[in-house]
Amino acid sequence: MEQTQLYPEIEPHETGFLSVGDGHEIYWEVSGNPQGKPVLFVHGGPGGGTGPNQRRFFDPAHYRIVLFDQRGCGKSTPLGGLFNNDTPHLVADMEQLRDVLGIERWIVFGGSWGSTLSLAYAQAHPERTVALVLRGIFLSRPQEIDWFMSKTGMGAIFPEAYAAFEATLPEAERDNVFDAFYARLTDPDPAIHLPVAKAWSGYEGSCVSLLPNPQIVEDSREDGRALSTARIEAHYFKHGSFLPAEGLLGGIERIRHIPAVIVQGRYDIVCPMTSAYDLHLAWPEAEFCVIPAAGHSASEPDIAAALVEATNRFRALA
């Protein structure tokens, strides 16, 4: 693949907080061309939040680039808040933000959990979705969550990272690792929830890239980021990501006409290739781009190149 560089760093020209009810305040920002084609960046996690590099997948001369932090994470408040934090509410927040910003339709771009939420949004509002760019596909099915949490799943590929993750729990609580983590993550006492939050987020950070990236691991263990990521991920995993019984594959007919690109690292361990392949089989009209030497992270050069290439091609859409 021809190497495509990220666009230069830019600053937002508009920022704000949107009150979406239930005590939640959602941070949002707009950068790039104020009169440009709108594009929405949907971050991962759930609970991960946005960062400045995520503006750089888009041509700032062409796109009006919208980033937002989902409920309970990033700059949104309350940090780690779980009340009415579910997929239908997040989809409604996206619609409210679109309306507040005066946007008729936009391109939706999301990776990992962001691919889950982007698909859920597009299936709920296909008339508002110009195109989809999806990366590191996560369909939030039980087998995908079991893979993430299991010693014989992701833990079999990264056994030392899993051992450190599990070791945060007292030995008596290791029979059911997920339930033990969930109980501690939702405890209001920081002395109880913060150590396991850092362990959870650090475990995930250890597995996201094809080659070791200590900076990703260090960033993932920062107190606020770790708390929002671990607590909100566990909350969504506990409740099947609040998706309908037929799952996201059951709603493909509603979006089959929408132009889409699916970008997947062949050696993605966090969100294994099988989920992207299942989405491809259900939706063959979407372009399926497998990156041969890449893992999960959008910062891996060949994945970033494919994402920029996709957003560059979608500049031609009406």
Q: Give SS3 for 142.
A: helix
Longest dimension (CA), the chain: 59
Catalytic residue among 112, 118, 201, 297: 112
How are beta strands 63-68 and 106-111 bridged, if at all? unpaired
Catalytic residue among 59, 93, 268, 302: 268
Q: Which residues of 20-42 are buried (b: 16+ CB within 10 A; e: fewer)?
A: beeebbbbbbbbbbeebbbbbbb
Q: CB count, 10 Å around CB of 260?
A: 24
Is residue 268 among the annotated active site residues?
yes
Catalytic residue among 235, 275, 296, 302: 296
- Burial category of 93 from C-beta neighbours within 10 Å (exposed 0-12, middle 13-18, buried 19 and up): buried
Is residue 280 among the annotated active site residues?
no
Q: In sequence order, which residues have a C-beta less than 8 Å from that of residue 189 and are 6 or more positions away?
A: none
Cβ–Cβ under 8 Å, residues 45 and 70? yes
Tell me the Ramachandran region of residue 84: left when phi exceeds 0, alpha when psi lies from -120 to 50, beta otherwise.
left
Is residue 223 among the annotated active site residues?
no
Q: Sign (positive/negative) of CA torsion 233, 168, 203, 143?
A: negative
User: Which active-site residues does the annotation give?
Assistant: 112, 268, 296
